[in-house]
């Protein structure tokens, strides 16, 4: 009955995550937002296979979330972007470049200080396959 499923392999997708990472940066469409630091809350979810580190208990077999945190800190605190979409995309791309074992990454960024009532934000999802297409397209046409 399910013979057509034999051609597909199903892979377990585990997650490593960082929630409520509070960072300061100068990002936004308006010039005032880019002059004065404001608070951003960043959530990162990394989709990968954690079977081996679950068995070995070795840090070398998993994603070191402290290094992922440093990637987010570096980008948010040391650059300026007009859109948080671009900020989230840069974080995702750098994580995927650093860890080939991560198949998919989700990055959410909230701007907590912009409104008195409500919190705007974005969530982007990028995959390792998509990341390689972007890198290839950027480099394939350069002379």
Cα–Cα distance measured from residue 13 to residue 21, given in angstroms and rounded to the nearest whole number: 23
Residue 111 annotated as catalytic:
yes
Q: Go through the chain and tell me how many residues it has.
A: 143
Looking at 52, 70, 94, 111, which residue is catalytic? 111
Cα–Cα distance measured from residue 22 to residue 73, given in angstroms and rounded to the nearest whole number: 9
Give rounded-to-5 percent helix, strand, coil for the chain.
Answer: 40, 25, 30
CA 31 vs CA 20, 24, 43, 80, 81: distances in Å: 26, 16, 25, 11, 11
Residue numbers annotated as active site: 111
């Amino acid at each position: 009955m399910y013979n057509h499923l034999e051609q597909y392999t199903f892979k377990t997708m585990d997650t490593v995550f960082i929630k409520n990472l509070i960072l300061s940066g100068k990002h936004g469409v308006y010039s005032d937002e880019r002059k004065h630091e404001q608070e951003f809350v960043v959530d990162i979810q990394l989709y990968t296979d954690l079977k081996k580190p679950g068995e070995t208990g070795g840090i070398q077999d998993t994603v070191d979330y402290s290094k992922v945190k440093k990637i987010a800190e570096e980008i948010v605190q040391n650059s300026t972007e007009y859109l948080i979409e671009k900020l989230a995309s840069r974080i995702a791309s750098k994580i995927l470049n650093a860890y080939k074992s991560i198949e998919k990454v989700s990055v959410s960024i909230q701007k907590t200080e912009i409104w008195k009532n409500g919190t705007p934000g974005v969530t982007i999802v990028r995959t390792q396959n998509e990341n390689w297409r972007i890198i290839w397209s950027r480099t394939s046409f350069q002379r």
